[in-house]
Structure 1
Amino acid sequence: MSVLLRPFTPADLPAVLALIDEDRLPGQPRATPELFAEASRGSTEADGHWWGAYGAPEVQVAVGSGGGIVGAVARARRTEDGAGLIPWLHCREDPVVADALLSHATAALSSAPGGPGPVDAFPFATALTQGLEGLPIGHRPVTHAALERAGYAGERLWRYMRADLPRPGLPRAEGVRVGPARDRGASRRLEVVRDGRAVAEAVIGRPVQGIGVLWWIEVEEAARGRGTGRALLGSALDALGGLGATQAVLYVDDDEPPGGERDRTAANRLYESAGFVEVDHLWSYALGGYAPRDAAAAQA
């Protein structure tokens, strides 16, 4: 199949939204014009601090031999040094289209003054998702393989999990103080208070299309082993339900093996026992330099 790359136009929006939705994971929102517009501005509640370093993304579409849109990719540059970013790519898991999109986007981003520069792919979330930082390689093996063929080095970052709400079998914490969250664009911060001070906290996000995010739970070491984390989890999921969520998602940075400094065995055990099910593992990618293998495949 021959593929032509050209800039996105507003008339392409329905086809691009359909492409994005074909890759939608359980626990993620449907692609809408509003979410696409926010993503195209380079903004999102979850990772706005990262996006602030980049210019607005440019979107290119891949047109197949029949004239239909068969893929799309977004690219952006970091304002400070021109380093490249590929925040998302969708191709119906067609290897020819994936290779063409990556070749085009990487060549364009690597043609910085002074020679080829670094390019990151799927490093953080966009407004098209509920905090989905990375590429879900179980659901997107063709895109993962295309990135490796293009010379990108991949790194596993997160375990992505979801559960339906409510979860009535969980305990609820006593002495919970609820207030606005201070970071990540989150909605609520819950604290378990003992003797006048917080010994545990949970942060939850504003639900989108009935999907809420549990950003994290943290329990002080002295308060662990008493069921505090499990009870706080129950209270946090109740709070998400009160905000209108019918399902919850979370991300566990369990890339380190058991016994390491950031061992997440206990966290995984807690979430699994509460009914959360693994959906996929999320990877991000980096390319230190780039030499186009086939410049003719990437048409502006």
Structure 2
Amino acid sequence: MATTTLGAGWGLRPYADGDRGAVLALVNADRVPGQPEATPAMLGEALAGRSPQNGEWWEELSPPATDVLHDPSGTVEGVVSYAVRPGDGEGFILWLHCADDRPELLSVLVDRALRALEAEGPRTVHAFEISSALNYGLEALPVRHRPAPRRVLEAAGFAGRDEWRYLHAELPLAGLPRAADVTVVPSGAETRLEIVEDGRAVAEALVGHGPGALGAVWWLGVLPSARRRGLGLRLLGSALELLAESGVREVVLYVDDDRSMAPPVPPEDDRTAANRLYDRAGLTEVDRLYCFTRPA
């Protein structure tokens, strides 16, 4: 891609400890509803290449490199973090932030990452594919809240994929029914809820307890043979009640309805009923989440 020129005095350099406050300010300026405020501890985990979500994917990456963009006065105006996956040689732009999402700054940061990742030759590069420690499960770009990075990535040769629907609600949510008999199985920061009939789980949900008063519904499913009986709505009501009782005041939910999937959509991947359920329950769509790929 062509390099954007910002003028004399602007520069790029590796992240240093003294940049922490400025980088956190950039990250938090891009925060969307339902996401926690990034803390020094969260930044430290992201810089080290670790994350509470998608941890196994981070383990496949080489240690990430993080660079900052500064203006002539030395003020940090942007940051980009990137890494290579040695197993297949593919590259990843992991997270990217700059002041006011200015396209000219974003272009410089994306160019920096691509030049570093492709220093030894062309490779496929992905962007916004993996959730970092700086957010809570947000593994793709919220394109309505951050349209500039999408435009800059596409101008650099990346193709975007509409992968996720991102939903949010404040708890408690009134008016939801509850399941009469639910089995609750705690496991660390996650809890599984099951509705069991005749010795087998016919509906289940997985909820998470995130930073502060934030929680997530990671999964909710009902067996085909048990559908159209209202089990999904009652189980969701029970899951949200459980989170609220544990101190959760905001909940997020990700629906992998992948609008880029070519029809016909296999029945097991059809999220039409799930989306209808979450809308009916009162969760609000915050954004659509896009991942990006640039072929070698």
Kindly indicate whether structure 1 or structure 2 has the higher relative contact order, using CA contacts under 8 Å at least 6 residues apart: 1
Distance in 1 between the 2:295 and 2:95 partners?
19
Distance in 2 between the 1:246 and 1:223 partners?
31
The one-letter code matched in structure 2 to 1:111 is A
**Is 1:236 equivalent to 2:244 in the alignment?**
no
Q: Which is worse superposed, 61-70 or 225-234?
A: 61-70
Shift of residue 218, structure 1, vs aligned partner:
0.6
Distance in 2 between the 1:201 and 1:282 partners?
25
**Is 1:227 equivalent to 2:222 in the alignment?**
no
The one-letter code matched in structure 2 to 1:25 is V
SS at 2:108's partner residue? helix
The one-letter code matched in structure 2 to 1:118 is T
**Is 1:209 equivalent to 2:212 in the alignment?**
yes
The one-letter code matched in structure 2 to 1:260 is V
Distance in 2 between the 1:58 and 1:102 partners?
13
> Which residue matches 1:174?
180
**Is 1:64 equivalent to 2:71 in the alignment?**
yes
Distance in 2 between the 1:194 and 1:151 partners?
51
CA contact (8 A) 2:194 2:204 kept: yes
CA contact (8 A) 1:186 1:203 kept: no
> Which residue matches 1:295?
none
CA contact (8 A) 1:160 1:249 kept: yes
**Is 1:15 equivalent to 2:22 in the alignment?**
yes
Residue correspondence of structure 1 range 117-132 to structure 2 within 5 A: 117-132=123-138
Q: Which is worse superposed, 85-94 or 258-267?
A: 258-267
> Which residue matches 2:110?
102
The one-letter code matched in structure 2 to 1:100 is V
Give the total of aligned pairs. Answer: 284
Distance in 2 between the 1:242 and 1:51 partners?
32
Match of 1:147 among 137, 153, 160: 153
Shift of residue 180, structure 1, vs aligned partner:
3.3
SS at 2:248's partner residue? coil
Percent identity over the alignment is 47
TM-score, with length taken from structure 1: 0.91
SS at 1:271's partner residue? helix
SS at 1:111's partner residue? coil
TM-score, with length taken from structure 2: 0.92
The one-letter code matched in structure 1 to 2:265 is G
> Which residue matches 1:138?
144
Distance in 1 between the 2:284 and 2:194 partners?
25
CA contact (8 A) 1:177 1:192 kept: yes
The one-character-per-residue Cα deviations of 1:184-209 (angstroms, maximum 9, x if unpaired) are: x8511111111222111100112212
Distance in 2 between the 1:94 and 1:272 partners?
34
SS at 1:128's partner residue? coil
Where structure 1 has 5 or more consecutive residues not aligned to the other structure, the ranges are 290-300
Shift of residue 42, structure 1, vs aligned partner:
1.6
Distance in 2 between the 1:119 and 1:150 partners?
11
Distance in 1 between the 2:204 and 2:221 partners?
5
Distance in 1 between the 2:56 and 2:186 partners?
18
The one-letter code matched in structure 1 to 2:235 is L
CA contact (8 A) 1:207 1:244 kept: no
Distance in 1 between the 2:191 and 2:48 partners?
25
Distance in 1 between the 2:131 and 2:66 partners?
16
CA contact (8 A) 1:176 1:193 kept: yes
**Is 1:196 equivalent to 2:194 in the alignment?**
no
